[in-house]
Structure formats: C-alpha cells, structure tokens
Structure 1
C-alpha cells in the first residue's frame, strides 16, 4: 500500500491552510494563525466526549488532527461529561482566553477558522455528517455564518 497523500503532503497542505487562517482572520503572522487555530480547535474539543472528539479528529487533515488532539491528558478526563456548548459570545471568550497574554484571535476567530477549514481542509459533506452526530451546538460552532 502506498503512503497516503494526506501524510505525504501534510506539511504543504497545513502551511496552505494556516495561510488561509491567517488571511481570513486578518492576522499578521503564521504564529498568530497557529495559536488562533489551536484555540478554536481546543475550545470546540472541550465540549465533546473523548469518543466524539476522535470521530471529529478523524475527518481532519493530519497536522490539524494532531493539533486538535494534543495535550489530551491535560485537558480531557475520559468518562467525564463535557459541558454543553454555550453561545457564540461565550465560546469566543474561551478562544481568546487560550494563551491570553499572547492571543491575537479576532472576535470573528471561530467563524474565520470555520470558513478556512471548510474552504480548503475538509470534505464539507463528511464534516456536516459528523457534526450532525455531535452534541447540540457543534453544527453552529463550525457554521461560518453564525
């Protein structure tokens, strides 16, 4: 079996995605885009069970998937019931709280990352199928128009 393309081109694909996040969020650097992306992914993850998070991670490209599941032990306690998704304002506050002293995430970070993710990184039909199986609020989280 040949090496899957998702791994073969992982760094090139991620660099293009991160550039899209940077431009969509109107940030200045890849570093700022990385931390914004990470904050959005981890904020979303905090409202999923471990099983749900792994189901979502499975549709992400390799490097984005790695960022999504990093710090697993520190942030997740298997078996605990995650909190429900709050409204967008509260979610945005959580995104901005991640690395708060160095965070450049705009108020539109969740919608901007959702736009970039849907535009260049995932199969939207597959994303929508997975989101429909996740808790209430998951679909809205990844809706760039909310």
Structure 2
C-alpha cells in the first residue's frame, strides 16, 4: 500500500510516504467514535492497521465539518517535518479503497465522516 501511495502522490521518499499515511490515518481516527474506530481499523490490512492504532488514546471524536478543516489539521500534524502534499487525503483514501477487498472497503466507507465519505465516493 505504501508503494502505491508513493507512486500515486508522487512522493519523494518512503519516509515522507509513511508520514503522510500515518498522518491521514491518525487524523481520521481522531474524528471517529470508538465503535467506528474498531470497524475502520479491523478492515485495514495488517500493517496499516498497526499504523492506525499506533499511539492511540481513546478520546471524544473531533468534528469534521468539511474536508478543508480535516486537511488543515492534517497539515498541522505533519509539520514541521513534512509539508503536506496537495491531494494527499484523496490519494490516501484512493489507495486504501483500491487496495482493500470490496467488502472491507464498503465497511470502511460506512464509518467515514461525511466529508471524507463524499471524497471517497468521488474517487470511484
């Protein structure tokens, strides 16, 4: 999955790719209620599942009113080490969707916050 993300997003290094993948997964996790975290995480491939749960501390989900607010938080998470590549949220969701079995992708889609679910749908 990381190699596909690096290729699709035209990222320069594996370190940047991993940081972006981790950033998107952790921002997403921060916006899901507990049950949805379990659903989403349980349908990720094993390595990405480990990244998704890395350093997790249960907390109330953050609001996701729109894609812009998600991406602002993601950019802040990635700085100062990585400047967020344009389209990294879409590229990451595309890779997760296309590299997952259809059933798993459908289950993950069900729990995405609305702005991310809408983005996922546009990536078809």
From 83, 92, 96, the counterpart of 1:117: 96
3-state DSSP class of the match of 2:79? coil
Q: Which residue of 2 aligns with 1:25?
A: 9
Q: Which residue of 1 aligns with 2:106?
A: 128
Runs of 4+ in 1 over 3 A off after TM superposition: 133-138, 141-145
Following TM superposition, by how much is the alpha carbon of 1:135 offset from its aligned partner in structure 2, in angstroms? 4.7
Gaps of 5+ in 2: none
Following TM superposition, by how much is the alpha carbon of 1:113 offset from its aligned partner in structure 2, in angstroms? 0.7
- Flag the structure with larger Rg: 1
Following TM superposition, by how much is the alpha carbon of 1:133 offset from its aligned partner in structure 2, in angstroms? 4.6
In the aligned structure 2, how far is the partner of 1:100 from the partner of 1:129? 31
Kindly tell me the number of residue pairs found equivalent between the two proteins: 124
The two structures have a TM-score, normalised by structure 1, of: 0.74
Residues 5, 91 of structure 2: 8 Å contact kept: yes
Following TM superposition, by how much is the alpha carbon of 1:144 offset from its aligned partner in structure 2, in angstroms? 5.3
Please give the per-residue CA displacement for 1:76-130, whole angstroms capped at 9, x wherever unaligned: 32xx3x233221112111111113011133120110111111222x123432234
* RMSD over equivalenced CA pairs, Å: 2.1
- Equivalences for residues 44-59 of structure 1 within 5 A: 44-59=28-43
In the aligned structure 1, how far is the partner of 2:84 from the partner of 2:102? 24
- Equivalences for residues 1-146 of structure 1 within 5 A: 17-73=1-57, 76-77=58-59, 80=60, 82-120=61-99, 122-133=100-111, 135-143=113-121, 145=123
